[in-house]
């Protein structure tokens, strides 16, 4: 019996390490560029627009074609199907037609025998441009009402009346910048023509199905003629969702033209210039509130720089609107979302997907209210938190049913002793003139599910072989986040076999079709459930065989510890698998899952878009140098709700990584365009993501205990990919706190994000000038 009580290795809720960890540290884990290619595979390079806005007057590809080794040269007119790769709307060209609309836009592409030949030929493509005036800023686009998709609104109550009758009223505006994904593995794809008009595409993509559709449209062939495969990505963060289709699409058109396999791997500068980023936002607000800080009405405009085409912008705007409440009950509101069109690279999905911008808006507003009233930020927040049973309906009419904000606030208070931390910070500031400290907390409530209900579905394919080993495939992609190991844990748990017997295989549209992107933090929620569904089907059939074998009712069959039991009798899992084969019982199943309860009305921006919310809270302490604007994060305390974590080790990594990435967004990562709309920060020499020293020297991260998801998610876990990124807004608020301290703490802080040394120094001077 002791054997029966043994836990299997690598079941759910265990801190099992990443399945590729050994491959990572030995260099044996293969990324797309490491895969051996067949003889004759061509290398490709892009020709990018040097102008932000221009008409293509003339294009001569002949000199490039004449370069030795060049096999194919393509421009828009060479695309045999439809030159459109729009993920949501339409008319978003793969290669520019007549007009270029951002510096770095792909105009032509070359395939040659070697990479150097392709890159050299790309420089010889002659294009004459008639340069047009670019629109580069959100303000300019707003003034001209240039949008990439229709503006959106979300309203409740009579905001004008609420503002007019409120005791206090404040208005203001600020910018928050974009962010490059800076996945370490740049965009890459390999397109291999088949022998019957079909194409095999290897793509570093979070969305194999979208690449499949994109390539099929571009080549004018049916979806079943395109198979897209990805084993792993070297990071993605949203940047390899729609953007991967650009790379795979060009590789596919070149391969079609050359009738040979073509690999396209972007150099870092091209990658950063040609592909989209996190949306910069201009945030304008007008807020009315009581003397105690209770918000009565909020008129909020969230204007996003969508770049040249819609891409993901409409959905990013929706998610921004859905997160501008964060944890707060707003009785009357008008949220406007403006998807501005500019002549800069189209902005796209990025971890958080508008959520961070919506949240930084409300948090900055509450910070302004608190300073206006001279009350602690935390007290003003508490006045406005969603309650349980009242004041619990979001601006989009979803009731917050799983509110644990108070619990998080209490646990952080206890764990970090916020009161004495605050006292120490104040004492430091009294004793120091040059260096000033700031301290702030940040609660997060993040909605889990794609806003668009249709995307909340997933498929999986599970095979059990007659030696008891299991092969697992699902629609989710592995980008380092640990999805494969989490879903494998689910399957191991279902079959009650050690995880060593479960092999994860490359994601491919040929095995699981019509998949959703691995995005919106939904990977393990959706694919875990689909895989569980497949495993349960096989398990049920195996249980039938076992029941017959032991001659007991099926209900008495249990799976545990690599065995299948009928009372005291048992059979090893592999033996039962072999027995199933003998009995001609199928050991393969496809699994499917659709998230329940959700619905969304695009026209009114109302509904229940989210199955549940993931919560978290953080406190951060920073120090700024009031002479230079230099800043350092000194300490961060994080508490994240992961439901009943599927894998605490993986989740911890997600929390820490998201926080540091969010910190980078708000501090050192500045995208800088010159007056002609040319991105000047297009490599790590000029674009500065956090390094190891930038991580707070005191960095305590905890996963909330005893907090199962109240909804029936996979083993009651919660999504974790995006929510903790927004905990980094505590750093932003702490910087504001430090700046405010130079004049006593009660003056409004004028600061845009990212808070670079320059911006901090300017804000300090602004504070002093009003002292």
Partner 1 sequence: MASLQFLLNGELRIESAVSPSMTVLDYLRGIARFTGTKEGCAEGDCGACTVAIADAHDEAAHYRAVNSCLMSVAQLDGCSLLTVEGLSRDGALHPVQRALIDADATQCGFCTPGFVMTMFAFAHGGEPADDTTIHEALAGNLCRCTGYRPIVEACRQVAGLPNDAAGERHPAAQPHPCEDYRAGDQHWFLPRSLPALTTLRVQHPHAIILGGGTDLGLLLSKERKTLPGVILTSRVSEMKKISAGDGALSLGGAVTYSEALPHLDRHFPAFAALVRRIGSRQIRNLGTFAGNLATASPIGDTTPCLIALGASVALHSDTKSRTLPVEDFITGYRKTALQPDEIIAAIRIPFLPEGDQFAAYKLSKRFDQDISTVVAAFRLRTKDGIVHALRLVYGGMAATTARAHAVEAALTGQPWAASSLAGIGALMTRDFKPMTDQRGSGAYRLDAAANLLRRFQIETTQPAALTRVDAL
Q: How far is the CB of 444 from partner 1 (least distance, A)?
A: 17
User: Is the separation of the CB atoms in 518 and 206 below 8 Å?
Assistant: yes
User: Is the separation of the CB atoms in 337 and 152 below 8 Å?
Assistant: yes
Nearer to partner 1, 11 or 653 (CB): 653
Q: How far is the CB of 20 from partner 1 (least distance, A)?
A: 6
**Which residues partner with 615 through β-bridges?**
445
Nearer to partner 1, 26 or 39 (CB): 26
Query: Distance between CA atoms of 255 and 72, rounded to whole angstroms?
Result: 8
Give me the count of residues in the chain. 771
Q: Which of 304, 303, 258 is nearest to 285 (CA)?
A: 303
Tokens 């919506």 map to which residue? 358
In 238-341 the beta strands, taken as DSSP E runs, fall at 262-265, 281-289, 295-305, 332-340
CA atoms within 13 A on the CB side of 510: 13
**Structure tokens that stand for 205 in this block:** 């993509």
Q: How far is the CB of 15 from partner 1 (least distance, A)?
A: 8
Nearer to partner 1, 567 or 691 (CB): 691
Q: Which of 555, 461, 552 is nearest to 508 (CA)?
A: 461
Nearer to partner 1, 28 or 594 (CB): 28
Q: How many CB atoms lie within 10 A of CB 393?
A: 16
Q: How far is the CB of 531 from partner 1 (least distance, A)?
A: 21
Query: Distance between CA atoms of 326 and 727, rounded to whole angstroms?
Result: 12
Q: What is the 3-class SS of 366-393, one letter each residue?
A: HHHHHHHHCCCHHHHHHHHECCCCCCCE
CA-based torsion, 150, 154, 160, 164: positive or negative: negative
Q: How far is the CB of 721 from partner 1 (least distance, A)?
A: 11
Nearer to partner 1, 31 or 581 (CB): 31
| Catalytic sites, residue numbers | 722
Query: Distance between CA atoms of 139 and 127, rounded to whole angstroms?
Result: 31
Which are the contacts of 507, defined by CB distance < 8 A and separation ≥ 6? 208, 229, 230, 231, 473, 474, 475, 476, 477, 478, 515
Nearer to partner 1, 388 or 435 (CB): 435
Nearer to partner 1, 84 or 630 (CB): 630
Nearer to partner 1, 398 or 760 (CB): 760
Q: How far is the CB of 769 from partner 1 (least distance, A)?
A: 13
Which are the contacts of 74, defined by CB distance < 8 A and separation ≥ 6? 95, 108, 109, 250, 253, 254, 257
Nearer to partner 1, 596 or 675 (CB): 675
Query: Distance between CA atoms of 665 and 68, rounded to whole angstroms?
Result: 44
Tokens 């000033």 map to which residue? 436
Query: Distance between CA atoms of 377 and 366, rounded to whole angstroms?
Result: 7
Virtual torsion, Cα 3, 4, 10, 11, nearest 10 deg = -170
Residue 315 Cα to chain centre, angstroms: 13
In 417-562 the beta strands, taken as DSSP E runs, fall at 435-448, 457-464, 470-474, 502-504, 507-508, 557-560
Q: How far is the CB of 377 from partner 1 (least distance, A)?
A: 22
Q: Which of 523, 458, 461, 537 is nearest to 495 (CA)?
A: 537
Nearer to partner 1, 119 or 407 (CB): 119
Crossing angle of helices 729-741/648-666, nearest 10°? 40
Residue 472 to residues 475, 595, 648, Cα–Cα distance (Å)? 10, 21, 22
Q: Where are the alpha helices (DSSP H) in 148-229?
A: 159-165, 208-219
Q: How far is the CB of 13 from partner 1 (least distance, A)?
A: 16
DSSP structure class, residue 679: B
Q: How far is the CB of 619 from partner 1 (least distance, A)?
A: 17
Nearer to partner 1, 158 or 625 (CB): 625
Nearer to partner 1, 18 or 334 (CB): 18
Q: How far is the CB of 668 from partner 1 (least distance, A)?
A: 5
For 596, phi then psi, to 5°, come to -80, 170
Q: Which of 352, 404, 324 is nearest to 156 (CA)?
A: 324
Query: Distance between CA atoms of 625 and 619, rounded to whole angstroms?
Result: 20
């Amino acid at each position: 019996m002791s054997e029966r009580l043994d836990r299997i290795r690598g079941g759910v809720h265990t801190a099992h390490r990443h399945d590729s960890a050994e491959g990572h540290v030995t260099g044996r884990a293969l990324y797309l560029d490491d895969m051996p290619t067949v003889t004759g595979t061509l290398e490709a390079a892009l020709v990018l627009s040097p102008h932000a806005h221009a008409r293509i007057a003339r294009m001569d590809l002949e000199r490039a074609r004449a370069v030795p080794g060049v096999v194919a040269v393509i421009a828009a007119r060479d695309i045999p199907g439809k030159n459109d790769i729009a993920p949501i709307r339409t008319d978003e060209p793969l290669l520019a037609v007549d007009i270029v609309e951002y510096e770095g836009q792909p105009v032509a592409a070359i395939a040659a025998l070697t990479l150097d030949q392709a890159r050299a030929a790309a420089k010889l493509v002659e294009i004459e441009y008639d340069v047009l005036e670019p629109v580069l800023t959100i303000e300019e686009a707003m003034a001209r009402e240039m949008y990439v998709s229709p503006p959106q609104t979300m309203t409740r109550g009579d905001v004008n009346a609420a503002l007019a009758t409120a005791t206090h009223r404040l208005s203001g505006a600020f910018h928050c910048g974009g962010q490059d994904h800076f996945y370490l593995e740049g965009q890459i794809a390999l397109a291999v023509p088949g022998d019957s008009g079909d194409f095999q595409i290897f793509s570093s993509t979070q969305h194999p199905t979208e690449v499949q559709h994109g390539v099929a449209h571009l080549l004018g062939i049916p979806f079943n003629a395109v198979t897209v495969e990805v084993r792993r990505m070297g990071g993605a963060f949203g940047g390899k969702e729609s953007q991967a289709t650009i790379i795979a699409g060009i590789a596919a058109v070149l391969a079609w033209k050359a009738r040979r396999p073509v690999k396209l791997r972007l150099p870092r500068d091209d990658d950063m210039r040609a592909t989209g980023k996190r949306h910069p936002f201009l945030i304008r607000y007008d807020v009315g509130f009581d003397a105690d800080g209770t918000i009565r009405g909020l008129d909020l405009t969230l204007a996003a720089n969508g770049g040249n085409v819609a891409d993901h912008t409409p959905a990013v705007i929706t998610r921004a609107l859905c997160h501008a409440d964060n944890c707060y009950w707003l009785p009357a509101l008008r949220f406007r979302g403006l998807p501005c069109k500019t002549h800069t690279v189209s902005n796209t999905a990025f971890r958080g997907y508008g959520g961070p911008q919506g949240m930084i808006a409300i948090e900055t507003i509450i910070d302004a209210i608190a300073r206006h009233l001279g009350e602690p930020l935390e007290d003003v927040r508490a006045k406005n938190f969603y309650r349980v049973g009242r004041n619990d309906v979001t601006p989009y009419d979803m009731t917050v049913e799983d509110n644990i904000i108070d619990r998080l606030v209490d646990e952080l208070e206890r764990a970090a002793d916020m009161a004495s931390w605050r006292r120490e910070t104040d004492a430091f500031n009294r004793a120091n003139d040059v260096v000033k400290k700031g301290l702030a907390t940040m609660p997060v409530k993040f909605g889990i599910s794609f806003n668009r209900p249709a995307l909340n579905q997933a498929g999986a394919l599970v095979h059990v072989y007659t030696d008891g080993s299991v092969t697992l495939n699902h629609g989710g992609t592995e980008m380092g986040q640990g999805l494969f190991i989490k879903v494998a844990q689910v399957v191991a748990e279902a079959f009650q076999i050690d995880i060593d017997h479960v092999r994860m295989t490359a994601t491919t549209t040929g095995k699981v079709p019509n998949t959703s992107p691995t995005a919106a933090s939904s990977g393990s929620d959706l694919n875990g459930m689909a895989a569980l569904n497949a495993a349960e089907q096989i398990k049920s059939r195996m249980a039938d065989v076992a029941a017959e074998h032991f001659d007991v009712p099926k209900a008495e069959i249990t799976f545990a510890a690599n065995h299948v039991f009928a009372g005291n009798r048992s059979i090893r899992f592999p033996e039962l698998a072999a027995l199933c084969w003998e009995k001609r019982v199928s050991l393969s199943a496809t699994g499917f899952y659709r998230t329940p309860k959700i619905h969304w009305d695009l026209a009114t921006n109302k509904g229940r878009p989210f199955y549940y919310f993931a919560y978290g809270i953080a406190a951060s302490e920073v120090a700024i140098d009031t002479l230079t604007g230099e800043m350092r994060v000194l300490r961060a305390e994080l508490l994240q709700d992961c439901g009943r974590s599927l894998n605490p080790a993986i989740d911890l990594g997600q929390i820490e990584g998201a926080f540091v990435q969010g910190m980078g967004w708000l501090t050192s990562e500045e995208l800088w365009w010159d007056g002609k709309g040319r991105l000047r920060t297009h490599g790590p020499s000029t674009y500065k993501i956090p390094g190891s020293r930038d991580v707070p020297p005191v960095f305590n991260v905890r996963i909330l205990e005893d907090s199962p998801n109240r909804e029936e998610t996979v083993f009651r876990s919660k999504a974790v990919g995006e929510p903790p990124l927004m905990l980094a807004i505590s750093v932003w608020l702490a910087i504001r706190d430090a700046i405010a301290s130079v004049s006593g703490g009660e003056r409004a802080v004028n600061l845009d994000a990212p808070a670079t040394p320059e911006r901090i120094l300017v804000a300090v001077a602004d504070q002093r000038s009003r002292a």
